[in-house]
Structure 1
Amino acid sequence: MRVTRKEPEVGLPERFHFKGGGGGVLHGSTCEAVVCTLAAARDRALSKLGHEGILKLVVYASDQTHATFQKGASIVGIPPANFRILRTSANSGYGLTATIVQRAIEEDVARGLVPLYLCATVGTTGLGAIDRNTCFTGTWLHIDAAYAGSAAICPEFQGHLDGAELADSLSMNPHKWFLTNMDCCCLWVANPTTMTDALSTDPEYLKNVGTASKMAETVDYKDWQIALSRRFRAIKLWVVLRRYGAAGMRAHMRRHIQMAEWFEHVVAADERFEVVVPRNFSLVCFRLRPRFMADKAVEALNRDLLAAVNASGRAFMTHFVVDDKFVIRLAVGGSMTEMRHVRAAWELLKEKANDLIATGC
């Protein structure tokens, strides 16, 4: 008898669904979602403080948060001096901790400032880090799951979104890891009114005579975004879901994560290399670290290693710098990536590392 594995139902908290009082919209990018949620948080706060209170509003993010949030805060009028970049460390896997956030908020409140907006990231761009337990009453909590939110389709990774039921908004980008073409960003909000109050327009030329009562029941997405008109982004996401289904997408995610898990294991087993931060999803951050080399020489060695790998044309990797360490990043996410490609990348790394060490570079 053939037994089919039945996956438990997973999904966002009901408060993000239309039936639960929330709702969702497709944007082009996280940048757009950030500006819209920041504007909503700003206007919600200023409705109590008055418009002159904008100089008191403070936005919080970690030193691993995407720079998009600084850009967005500037666009909506938050003074640059009121953007707090909170330091993370290896002890927390470079994720933001509640203690750090609480300390920063208490210091600002003591100065007479008003905590406005906190970004918690699930799968940071540089290291794939996760911010945990960072919800504080009074701030708008946004969860940026642009990259790793896709993995939450698998029950075993749903726990990374624990606490999402307390958030005001959450975004993820299907165009990053969900087999969807650019551009496509899913944004959910717990209270759509806060966003539509900040973004709505109601000129006469957009009104339909005789349908006012129906319009009151209609979701008008022009009030959920920056632009008035919008592209039909839903069709490409719908096609992916129809083509692969939940089971197919889960298999896609698990296959990539298993490949990254294998790569992390072989890197850790080679005494010349080190895994710089524990892997959470399909991103492995590592470096070549011969024991006899000084730190400055190690940085130069890894820059040369990355350049040699990419110049070979057989693989392409990127880098990041954390705690003054130059780190090489292997991200498994291509739709056609197979285990043989990951194995070949590891053999290439060893080959180039041997050449560099032998020549004393």
Structure 2
Amino acid sequence: MTPEQFRAHGHEVVDWVADHLGRVESLPVRSQVSPGDVRALLPASAPEQGEAFADVLADLERVVVPGLTHWQHPGFFGYFPANTSGPSVLGDLVSSALGVQGMSWVTSPACTELEQHVMDWFVELLGLPEAFTHASTGGGVVQDSSSGANLVALLAALHRATGGSTVRSGVEPGAMTVYVSAQTHSSMEKAARVAGLGSDAVRVVPVDGDFAMRPDELARRIDSDVARGFTPVLVCATAGTTSTGAFDPLAALGPICRDRGVWLHVDAAWGGVSAVAPELRPLQEGVEWADSYTTDAHKWLLTGFDATLFWVADRAALTGALAILPEYLRNAATDSGAVVDYRDWQIELGRRFRALKLWFVVRWYGAEGLREHVRGAVALAQELAGWVGADDRFDVVAPHPLSLLCLKPRWARGVDADVATMTLLERLNDGGEVFLTHTTISGEAVLRVALGAPATERRHVERLWALLRENHDWLATDFAEAAATAETAAAEARAAREAQTPDPVEFTTVPEVENAPREDPRDGSAEDSREDSALE
């Protein structure tokens, strides 16, 4: 493709993207295809000859779009949002066009230094500790995901806990422990597996009534493990859990970790970016205790995937765990020690110019634009919570300081609540206007409503609330009738069983005869009479 062809077709693609974003609300949120439908529309073999670009765009509409669940749809309330925006898309376009491989400073100095600078900007924007800046002992890097960030945090913690011996000899089986809560993201357990610790090394700390990790239980479990000869390595606290949006008490957990020499990692994948609004920072009070911290700009900060912001307070532990320098990567800048080589801050060697789209986003929206986006989603969630609180068909069943609500529908006595709730969820999602997901709280199914899609406005939340009530009413009547019918049938079955049971046989109890005084046989005693009767 020549530059002129690229210019022409590039305009076509930008027009297509703009048109798609403008019409996405008219499409069903969740894809309506069945497994295998998309592949059935594709040719069995790759084309031998190049095809017209118009045909590619036509198949984009015919094959791809029907198979998409539209995360940028204003009715998308599932999982957590996966934001993108015009500036992010254009930044990614430029990054792809430049084709930079930013593994080392020397491979593209601007790729490294722009990333360092943007990460330092976000330390200030989110109110994070000064130790996370590159001018201090730590620094920040853009990772592919918070799942990946959790893994590299664990590797850094292992390096510190063992004095670097894991780099040389690996992990001693069954010797080290990691601490999470019942609400911690599953990626932390996966990280323990990948790091060689195994799932048995993961200790699950109980949570309180707000689903936050209990500091007293954490301290007790760490001390118990130490007494039994284990080496505690890392505590993973969460700022905005995936299931319920809970915040672990960092201010209480921090001193426990410090006093016991345990690495404190904060997984703030969703909730962390809320700190761009200063009034929401108290939710993460105590963040200064963190040894590492991760949050996703690609969830709620108008930046397309992948854009995970990850910081460490001590970069030496991170690079000590991950740095390898083969001869073919040696260069004068690296040998001088004056530069950052981000290949030593991640699992992979190669890396994209991810910071470029972040730079575009921050410069387009500014700090105030980012705050406005976060505040808007929080305000809509709180308004929806108010509507739910005034209604007798649903309950809000978890704290909701940000933009995630957990709703439990109420059902009539005798109705299987979990079946009814999941039926309501599928009915809503099948309708195409909205998309929600679920979780369980205290063993019961509840609906999750996660706000934050850039296109979501108040009218979309109003429509969601109307759909929740309408579908609940329809199902409540149906399930109540079914439950009543089942109860009647059960009662009739019991009555039928009772009617078929024969009457109990009545037995006459013969009074016991007291032994009479023995009489002379010649006088016809009672004893002789019994004997005579027996012989007759």
Please classify the TM superposition score into its range, dividing by the shorter chain length: over 0.9
1:124 aligns with 2:247: no
Indicate the residue corresponding to 2:363 in structure 1: 242
**2:164–2:321 CA contact under 8 A, matched in 1:** no
User: Over residues 246-276 of structure 1, what are the superposed CA-to-partner deviations in whole Å (9 max), with x where a residue is unaligned?
Assistant: 1111111111000000111111111121111
1:197 aligns with 2:320: yes
Indicate the residue corresponding to 2:181 in structure 1: 62
User: Over residues 234-255 of structure 1, what are the superposed CA-to-partner deviations in whole Å (9 max), with x where a residue is unaligned?
Assistant: 0111111111111111111111
**2:420–2:479 CA contact under 8 A, matched in 1:** no
Mark the runs of 5 or more structure 2 residues left unpaired by the alignment: 1-123, 481-536
Indicate the residue corresponding to 2:503 in structure 1: none
| Shift in Å, 1:55 | 2.9
User: Over residues 165-213 of structure 1, what are the superposed CA-to-partner deviations in whole Å (9 max), with x where a residue is unaligned?
Assistant: 11100000000001110111010000000010110011111112x5566
1:293 aligns with 2:413: yes
| Shift in Å, 1:10 | 5.5
**1:66–1:125 CA contact under 8 A, matched in 2:** yes
Indicate the residue corresponding to 1:231 in structure 2: 352
**1:46–1:53 CA contact under 8 A, matched in 2:** no
| Shift in Å, 1:116 | 0.6
Q: Report the 3-state secondary structure (helix = DSSP H, G, I; strand = E; otherwise coil) of the residue aligned with 1:18.
A: coil
Indicate the residue corresponding to 1:178 in structure 2: 301
Indicate the residue corresponding to 2:277 in structure 1: 154
**1:57–1:114 CA contact under 8 A, matched in 2:** yes
Amino acid at match of 1:165: E
1:271 aligns with 2:392: yes
Indicate the residue corresponding to 1:258 in structure 2: 379
1:30 aligns with 2:146: yes
Amino acid at match of 2:288: E
Amino acid at match of 1:103: R
Indicate the residue corresponding to 2:83 in structure 1: none
Amino acid at match of 2:398: V
In structure 2, C-alpha distance between the alignment counterparts of 1:246 and 1:48, rounded to whole Å? 40
1:351 aligns with 2:467: no
Structure 1's 231 and 10: CA in aligned 2 closer, same or farther, altered over 3 A? closer
**1:46–1:54 CA contact under 8 A, matched in 2:** no
In structure 2, C-alpha distance between the alignment counterparts of 1:18 and 1:44, rounded to whole Å? 20
Counterparts of 1:67-78 in structure 2, within 5 Å, are 67-78=186-197
Picking from 433, 437, 444, the partner of 1:318 is: 437
Q: Report the 3-state secondary structure (helix = DSSP H, G, I; strand = E; otherwise coil) of the residue aligned with 1:59.
A: strand
In structure 2, C-alpha distance between the alignment counterparts of 1:183 and 1:211, rounded to whole Å? 28
1:103 aligns with 2:223: no
Structure 1's 172 and 48: CA in aligned 2 closer, same or farther, altered over 3 A? closer
User: Over residues 125-149 of structure 1, what are the superposed CA-to-partner deviations in whole Å (9 max), with x where a residue is unaligned?
Assistant: 1110111122222111000110011
Picking from 58, 80, 101, the partner of 2:199 is: 80
**TM-score relative to the length of structure 1:** 0.92
Q: Report the 3-state secondary structure (helix = DSSP H, G, I; strand = E; otherwise coil) of the residue aligned with 1:95.
A: coil
User: Over residues 282-317 of structure 1, what are the superposed CA-to-partner deviations in whole Å (9 max), with x where a residue is unaligned?
Assistant: 001011113x425x6111211111111111111111
In structure 1, C-alpha distance between the alignment counterparts of 2:237 and 2:153, rounded to whole Å? 13
**2:185–2:241 CA contact under 8 A, matched in 1:** yes
**2:245–2:399 CA contact under 8 A, matched in 1:** no
| Shift in Å, 1:54 | 5.2
**1:171–1:185 CA contact under 8 A, matched in 2:** yes
Q: Which moved more, 1:46-55 or 1:167-176?
A: 46-55
**2:177–2:231 CA contact under 8 A, matched in 1:** yes
Indicate the residue corresponding to 1:41 in structure 2: 157
* Count of aligned residue pairs for this structure pair: 348
In structure 2, C-alpha distance between the alignment counterparts of 1:323 and 1:172, rounded to whole Å? 27
Amino acid at match of 2:141: V
Q: Report the 3-state secondary structure (helix = DSSP H, G, I; strand = E; otherwise coil) of the residue aligned with 1:277.
A: coil
Indicate the residue corresponding to 2:26 in structure 1: none
1:20 aligns with 2:140: no
Structure 1's 330 and 21: CA in aligned 2 closer, same or farther, altered over 3 A? same
Indicate the residue corresponding to 2:427 in structure 1: 308
Amino acid at match of 2:128: L
Greater percentage in strand:
1
In structure 1, C-alpha distance between the alignment counterparts of 2:471 and 2:304, rounded to whole Å? 34
User: Over residues 88-138 of structure 1, what are the superposed CA-to-partner deviations in whole Å (9 max), with x where a residue is unaligned?
Assistant: 24x2x1111211211111111121111110000000111101111222221
Calculate percent identity across the aligned residue pairs. 39
Amino acid at match of 2:306: D
Indicate the residue corresponding to 2:287 in structure 1: 164
Q: Report the 3-state secondary structure (helix = DSSP H, G, I; strand = E; otherwise coil) of the residue aligned with 2:400.
A: coil
Counterparts of 1:207-222 in structure 2, within 5 Å, are 207-208=330-331, 210-211=332-333, 215-222=336-343
| Shift in Å, 1:85 | 1.6
In structure 2, C-alpha distance between the alignment counterparts of 1:55 and 1:350, rounded to whole Å? 51
Structure 1's 104 and 211: CA in aligned 2 closer, same or farther, altered over 3 A? closer
Indicate the residue corresponding to 2:127 in structure 1: 11
| Shift in Å, 1:226 | 0.7
Indicate the residue corresponding to 1:5 in structure 2: none
* Larger RCO (CA under 8 A, 6+ residues apart): 2
In structure 2, C-alpha distance between the alignment counterparts of 1:211 and 1:151, rounded to whole Å? 37
Q: Report the 3-state secondary structure (helix = DSSP H, G, I; strand = E; otherwise coil) of the residue aligned with 1:142.
A: strand
User: Over residues 9-56 of structure 1, what are the superposed CA-to-partner deviations in whole Å (9 max), with x where a residue is unaligned?
Assistant: 762110111122210000111121111111111122222777564531
| Shift in Å, 1:330 | 0.8
Structure 1's 305 and 109: CA in aligned 2 closer, same or farther, altered over 3 A? same
**2:159–2:321 CA contact under 8 A, matched in 1:** yes
| Shift in Å, 1:80 | 2.2
| Shift in Å, 1:360 | 2.7
In structure 2, C-alpha distance between the alignment counterparts of 1:45 and 1:141, rounded to whole Å? 12
| Shift in Å, 1:79 | 3.1
**2:247–2:284 CA contact under 8 A, matched in 1:** no
| Shift in Å, 1:154 | 0.3
Mark the runs of 5 or more structure 1 residues left unpaired by the alignment: 1-7
In structure 1, C-alpha distance between the alignment counterparts of 2:197 and 2:327, rounded to whole Å? 32
Amino acid at match of 2:227: A
Amino acid at match of 2:143: H
Q: Report the 3-state secondary structure (helix = DSSP H, G, I; strand = E; otherwise coil) of the residue aligned with 1:279.
A: coil
In structure 2, C-alpha distance between the alignment counterparts of 1:9 and 1:228, rounded to whole Å? 29
